[in-house]
């Protein structure tokens, strides 16, 4: 057998070793010759190649093709480069591929045990390759903009450059609002959730999003934008474009915006839509409040206050909280209740939500896309939105059993079940007096002609509460006649009537005459990269299968006292040896400030 060069023969031998699960050692590898043998001790397999004058090629001179060994799991040929080259397509599609899964896959395919550091090095090789391709994608953002405008006319696609470096054409922002999503949102309620999330891969920046609510109380993405940072300027830029796209007039009167207490967003709301109702996610307010008031029993009382539909119930629930912690009842009012308490929401929004969970759902839905470079990320988000519209269109065709959307019907069934505790007194016309026979035994008045209940929920949400349903049953009417049309299947179909149009591949994109933007500077943060997707709040359920040890009081196994373990215990004979060995190795002398006082805790 002959080869064009020594390097070609070397690659062939490495491929042979990987396919036969045997470790090949190169004994002599010079410019004109190469010798290799099996890595198993005593195995006679050997090969020798060199340049030959007979054919002027690199030729096999000696070959002993006999193995007296079995497959070797300690195969040093399975390097980080080999792993990266073999599984690059998987790591690109799934950047969160776990190290243990990589090890198991390598063992199955190569019959080799690889270390954790080797798998991490392979992931790093792929990520660096992605980072190299990142700059190339930034140069095509104007071409991508033209293609989106060509394929989806009427859309708003904007590219922003950093004004501080206009001579260098540094990329800064990218705004996307498809015409189909704008048209579909006109059939939705005037409720928008705003939030931002970080990118997770080589692309540095944040993604801002505006999420509406469809007739089934599911998320309806309206617009999203790539920005450098989540600042007042970026939020004002995003909100300003959103107002123009959705035709929000009269300074936002009649509109509802839900956010997570971002200072920059609060400023943007005050500047652009001062008359709009600005709600703040009660879950984030509770997370801040809980840092000081940690008792688990207070959790239900907080949410009872936030979800009370009228001010009398709000004050009653607040008084119940004050019985346990008067300071907590005062601190809960630091944020004005009109931003987070249902009792203070104005009527007419047809939305009783006190949280911003739909934005969190959108951020979670695109979590894989956030690992990719700029255009790949935006394309994955577009693919998901296209698929979502198509699936919802197909799904709505099967909803023939009821005129009400399924999620709304589920909430309605909960209210219907609660009517067993309601006693109704009817005046013969539109007036009803409904009394709860359980709990505090409160009475509420219902007017079916005006669609109102003194509990406040009927007129706020646009669907009957348990008191109104009891009155409907008493008068022999149909519940469906008292549910707002914004929750109907017909309205759901109107929302998803408009579809996103397909986009051509990169090779067929129009070429922009604008200068090619450059990628923004990538700053590597100090320390080891975080493994978790996000920082979880205190008390939130852990991601894995094991409970966190946070808050656990440890006990020393040597002295039996709490507050330290045996590593820092004064009775541990190994403690002094390790300290002296460290000082001897570094050549330092122990200072008085370096004395470990944790071991003295057992004498307290």
Q: What is the pLDDT of residues 543-573, one digit of tens each?
A: 666 666 666 778 888 888 888 888 778 777 7
pLDDT higher at 250 or 18: 18
Half-sphere exposure of 114 (CA within 13 A, CB side): 30
Give whole-number Cα distances, 30 to 16, 35, 62, 341, 583, in Å. 20, 9, 16, 78, 47
Asked if residue 313 has pLDDT above 60, the reply is: yes
In this prediction, residue 600 carries a pLDDT of: 37
Asked if residue 510 has pLDDT above 90, the reply is: yes
Strand partners, 52: 57
DSSP state of 582: H
pLDDT-derived band at 325, boundaries 50, 70, 90: very high
Q: What is the mean pLDDT of residues 484-502?
A: 95
Burial class (CB in 10 A: 0-12, 13-18, 19+), 437: exposed
DSSP state of 273: -
What SS3 state is found at 6? helix
In this prediction, residue 551 carries a pLDDT of: 66
In this prediction, residue 365 carries a pLDDT of: 93
How many residues comprise the chain?
604
pTM given for the model: 0.73
Distance from the Cα of residue 44 to its chain's centroid: 56
Q: Using CA atoms, how far apart are residues 466 and 61, in angstroms rounded to an integer?
A: 91
Quickly list H helices, 114-260.
116-138, 141-151, 179-185, 232-246
Q: What is the mean pLDDT of residues 286-303?
A: 90
pLDDT in tens, 72-118: 888 889 999 999 999 998 987 787 889 999 999 999 999 999 999 99
Asked if residue 133 has pLDDT above 80, the reply is: no
Q: Using CA atoms, how far apart are residues 171 and 152, in angstroms rounded to an integer?
A: 23
Q: Using CA atoms, how far apart are residues 172 and 23, in angstroms rounded to an integer?
A: 50
Half-sphere exposure of 204 (CA within 13 A, CB side): 13
Closest to 556 measured CA to CA, from 570, 538, 545, 535 = 570
pLDDT in tens, 207-240: 999 999 999 999 999 999 999 888 889 999 999 9
pLDDT in tens, 156-190: 999 999 888 878 889 999 999 999 999 999 999 99
Q: Using CA atoms, how far apart are residues 87 and 28, in angstroms rounded to an integer?
A: 31
For the chain, the average pLDDT equals: 87
Q: What percent of the chain lies above the pLDDT cut of 90?
A: 59
Q: What is the mean pLDDT of residues 376-395?
A: 95
In this prediction, residue 580 carries a pLDDT of: 62
Q: Concatenate the DSSP letters of all residues of 304-342 into one string.
A: HHHT-SSHHHHHHHHHHHHHH-HHHHHHTTSS-GGGT-G
Q: What is the mean pLDDT of residues 328-355?
A: 93
> Under a CB-based contact definition with an 8 Å cutoff, are residues 204 and 520 in contact?
yes
Asked if residue 353 has pLDDT above 90, the reply is: yes
pLDDT-derived band at 201, boundaries 50, 70, 90: low
Dmax over Cα atoms in the chain, in whole Å? Answer: 114
pLDDT in tens, 406-457: 999 999 999 999 999 999 999 988 889 999 887 677 899 999 999 999 999 9
Q: What is the mean pLDDT of residues 304-311?
A: 94
Mapping DSSP onto H, E and C, the string for 501-530 reads CCCCCHHHCCCCCCCCCECCCCCCCCCCCC
In this prediction, residue 193 carries a pLDDT of: 95
pLDDT higher at 125 or 261: 125
Q: Using CA atoms, how far apart are residues 383 and 3, in angstroms rounded to an integer?
A: 46
| Domain 2-64, CATH number (from 2.30.30, 2.60.40, 2.20.25, 3.40.50) | 2.20.25
Considering the domain delimited by 139-280+356-399+511-520, tell me its CATH architecture.
Answer: 2-Layer Sandwich (3.30)
Domain ranges for the chain, please list them. Answer: 2-64, 80-137, 139-280+356-399+511-520, 282-353, 406-487
pLDDT in tens, 4-57: 888 899 999 999 999 989 888 998 777 788 999 998 888 999 999 998 777 778
- Helices and strands in the chain, H and E counts: 20, 16
Report long-range pairs for 268-277 (Cβ below 8 Å, ≥24 apart). 268/232, 268/235, 268/236, 268/238, 268/239, 268/240, 269/239, 271/236, 272/236, 272/239, 272/240, 272/243, 273/239, 273/243, 273/248, 275/250, 275/251, 276/248, 276/251, 276/252, 277/338, 277/345, 277/346, 277/349
Closest to 249 measured CA to CA, from 225, 270, 276 = 276
In this prediction, residue 594 carries a pLDDT of: 44
Closest to 141 measured CA to CA, from 517, 503, 502 = 517
Q: Using CA atoms, how far apart are residues 538 and 287, in angstroms rounded to an integer?
A: 8
pLDDT-derived band at 536, boundaries 50, 70, 90: low
Q: Using CA atoms, how far apart are residues 579 and 281, in angstroms rounded to an integer?
A: 50
Q: Concatenate the DSSP letters of all residues of 28-60 into one string.
A: EE-SSEEEEEESSTT---EEEEEEETTTTEEEE
Backbone angles phi, psi at 553, to 5 degrees: -90, 110
Q: Using CA atoms, how far apart are residues 428 and 242, in angstroms rounded to an integer?
A: 49
In this prediction, residue 439 carries a pLDDT of: 66
Spatial CB neighbours of 444, under 8 Å, sequence gap ≥ 6 = 433, 434, 435, 436, 453, 454, 455, 467
In this prediction, residue 596 carries a pLDDT of: 44
In this prediction, residue 550 carries a pLDDT of: 65
Give whole-number Cα distances, 230 to 207, 208, 234, 263, 470, in Å. 9, 8, 6, 10, 48
DSSP state of 454: T
């Amino acid at each position: 057998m002959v080869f064009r060069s020594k390097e070609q023969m070397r690659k062939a031998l490495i491929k042979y070793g990987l396919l036969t699960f045997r470790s090949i050692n190169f004994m002599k590898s010079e410019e004109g010759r190469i010798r290799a043998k099996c890595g198993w001790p005593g195995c006679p397999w050997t090969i020798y190649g060199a340049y030959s004058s007979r054919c002027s090629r690199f030729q096999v001179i000696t070959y002993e093709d006999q193995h007296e060994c079995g497959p070797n799991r300690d195969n040093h040929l399975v390097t980080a480069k080999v792993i990266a080259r073999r599984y690059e397509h998987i790591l690109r599609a799934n950047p969160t591929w776990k190290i243990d899964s990589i090890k198991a896959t390598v063992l199955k395919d190569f019959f080799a045990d690889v270390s954790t550091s080797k798998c991490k090095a392979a992931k790093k090789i792929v990520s660096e390759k992605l980072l190299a391709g990142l700059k190339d994608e930034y140069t095509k953002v104007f071409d991508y903009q033209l293609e989106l405008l060509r394929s989806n006319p009427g859309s708003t696609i904007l590219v922003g450059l950093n004004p501080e470096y206009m001579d260098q054409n540094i990329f800064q922002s990218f705004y996307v609002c498809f015409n189909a999503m704008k048209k579909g949102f006109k059939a939705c309620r005037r409720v928008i959730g705003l939030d931002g999330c970080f990118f997770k891969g080589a692309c540095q920046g944040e993604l801002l999003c505006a999420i509406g609510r469809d007739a089934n109380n599911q998320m309806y993405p309206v617009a999203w934008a790539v920005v450098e940072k989540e600042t007042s300027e970026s939020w004002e830029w995003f909100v300003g474009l959103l107002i123009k796209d959705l035709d929000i007039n009269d300074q936002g009167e009649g509109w509802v915006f839900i956010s997570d207490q971002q200072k920059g967003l609060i400023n943007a709301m005050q500047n652009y839509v001062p008359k709009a109702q600005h709600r703040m996610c009660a879950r984030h307010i509770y997370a801040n409040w809980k840092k000081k008031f940690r008792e688990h029993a207070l959790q239900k009382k907080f949410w009872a206050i936030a979800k009370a539909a009228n001010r009398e119930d709000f004050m009653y629930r607040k008084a119940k909280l004050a019985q346990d912690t008067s300071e907590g009842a005062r601190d809960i009012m630091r944020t004005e209740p009109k931003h987070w308490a249902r009792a203070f929401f104005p009527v007419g929004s047809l939305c009783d939500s006190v949280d911003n969970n739909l934005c969190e759902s959108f951020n979670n839905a695109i979590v894989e896309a956030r690992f990719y470079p700029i255009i790949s990320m935006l394309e994955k988000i577009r693919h998901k939105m296209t698929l979502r519209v198509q699936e919802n269109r197909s799904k709505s065709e099967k909803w023939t059993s009821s005129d009400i959307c399924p999620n709304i019907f589920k909430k309605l069934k909960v209210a219907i079940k609660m009517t067993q505790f309601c006693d109704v007194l009817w005046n013969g016309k539109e007036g009803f007096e409904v009394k709860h026979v359980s709990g505090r035994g409160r009475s509420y008045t219902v007017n079916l002609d005006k669609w109102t209940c003194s509990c406040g929920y009927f007129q706020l949400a646009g669907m009957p509460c348990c008191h109104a349903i009891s009155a409907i049953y008493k008068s022999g009417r149909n519940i469906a006649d008292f549910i707002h049309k914004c929750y109907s299947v017909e309205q759901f179909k109107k929302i998803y009537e408009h579809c996103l149009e397909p986009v051509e591949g990169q090779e067929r994109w129009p070429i922009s005459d604008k200068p090619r933007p450059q990628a923004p500077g990538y700053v590597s943060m100090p320390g080891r990269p975080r493994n978790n997707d996000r920082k979880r709040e205190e008390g939130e359920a852990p991601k894995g299968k094991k409970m966190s040890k946070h808050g656990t009081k440890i006990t020393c196994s040597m002295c039996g006292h709490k507050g330290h373990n045996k590593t820092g215990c004064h009775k541990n004979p190994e403690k002094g040896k390790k300290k002296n060995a460290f000082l001897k190795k570094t050549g330092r002398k122990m200072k008085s400030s370096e004395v470990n006082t944790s071991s003295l805790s057992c004498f307290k």
